[in-house]
Amino acid sequence: MRYETASATVAAYVNANLPVMLWGAPGVGKSDLVAQVAASGGRDLVDERLSTLESVDLRGQPRVIGDSVAWARPTMFARLWDSHDAGRPSMLFLDEINAAAPSVQAAAFQLVLNRRVGEHALPDDCVVVAAGNRQSDKAAAQRMPSALANRFAHVDIEPDADAWRAWAAGAGLSPLVIAFLAFRPALIHAMEGADLRAFPSPRAWASVARIADAPADLRPALVRGLVGEAAAGEFEAFARIWTRLPSIESILANPDGAPVPSASEPALLYAVATGVARKATRANMGAVIRFAARLPAEFAFLMVADATRRDAGLKETRAFIDFSVANQGVLA
């Protein structure tokens, strides 16, 4: 399921107070999706990575009181009830649930099935969301017990280059990485045949964006350590194309006369479209649209879409309004 569809599906389950289990390969964006759904729904998020916990972390430490034993309330429950007492709904995220020890999975079973572990109960306005890798993802994943699996609604998340690029543009990440994944969307996630210590994933590309401006003699090794040899080689070849870009300032100063890359150089077209989009402002949006009109349609739409994802206020400019009217149904 594509990222946006998965996000809407999870939100619908959460709104119905149904527990949800997200499945997907490492680094595909499961945790980010959960945080996004919690934030958009006004829920406080309590994130627990079950693979690092012991069962006592869910049940609480025992303590002797007179002739009986009571169980101290774990911090997780305290935070959820603090949100409830403050009038805020919450979401409990049980990450890496099927990589947890069997005793922790048993406690999680009680939590999902009965909404309590021992004497500690979840607030009524708390919804449970879990996530894990599939056994086919070559991760430390175990088979989920059928009784626990049957309690969840299940959502599979597939790598989505378009969704990652939209997020990255809005977050102001490196336009070089955004442009590369527009050119090579299949590399958004690629484990097959990869060195499983470092392989392309949405999470790994976000890390690449942090070092994309490193010196050219150091960058290949840095990228290789994040996404592996093959993907790093393709990225570096694209980065060299990036250096051939005409000055973005010169394009915006002369949008009607600046050189336009040939249709036979798609990598350069992706690069120039993303580079101009990164520099778009309300003041120069007219120049951006005029230059876009000289590009092949696919790259014109890419440029304008990337610009407005980064700054939604650009949609209020006369240039964008005229462009969207002339291209109704194309821009989302």
On whether the CB atoms of residues 201 and 27 are closer than 8 A, the answer is yes
329 — pLDDT class (breaks 50, 70, 90): low
Mean pLDDT of 228-247: 89
Mind listing the domains of the chain with CATH numbers? 3-156 (3.40.50.300), 161-326 (no CATH)
Closest CA to 73 of 9, 120, 109, 39: 120
Q: What pLDDT, on the 0 to 100 scale, is given for residue 330?
A: 58
% of the chain with per-residue pLDDT over 70: 95
Helix ranges (H only) for 41-171 are 55-59, 75-85, 102-114, 146-149, 161-171
**pLDDT digits 0-9 by tens, 70-110:** 777 888 899 999 999 999 999 999 998 888 888 888 888 88
Q: What pLDDT, on the 0 to 100 scale, is given for residue 125?
A: 95
Q: Name the pTM for this structure.
A: 0.72
**pLDDT digits 0-9 by tens, 91-100:** 999 998 888 8
Cα-Cα end-to-end distance for the chain: 19
Q: What pLDDT, on the 0 to 100 scale, is given for residue 188?
A: 92
CB proximity list for 29: less than 8 A, separation 6 or greater: 3, 157, 160, 163, 164, 202, 203
C-alpha–C-alpha distance, residues 283 and 285, integer Å: 6
Rg of the chain over all Cα atoms, to the nearest angstrom:
24
Helix ranges (H only) for the chain are 3-15, 30-40, 55-59, 75-85, 102-114, 146-149, 161-171, 175-183, 202-211, 219-227, 229-242, 248-253, 266-278, 285-292, 297-310, 318-326
**pLDDT digits 0-9 by tens, 259-293:** 888 888 888 899 899 989 989 999 999 999 999 99
What does DSSP say about strands 20-23 and 120-121: parallel, antiparallel, or unpaired? unpaired
What does DSSP say about strands 62-65 and 68-71: parallel, antiparallel, or unpaired? antiparallel
CB proximity list for 151: less than 8 A, separation 6 or greater: 19, 109, 112, 113
Q: What pLDDT, on the 0 to 100 scale, is given for residue 137?
A: 58
Q: Kindly report the average pLDDT of the chain as a whole number.
A: 88
Q: What pLDDT, on the 0 to 100 scale, is given for residue 18?
A: 93
CB atoms within 10 A of CB 120: 20
Residue 221 pLDDT exceeds 70: yes
Residue 123 pLDDT exceeds 70: yes
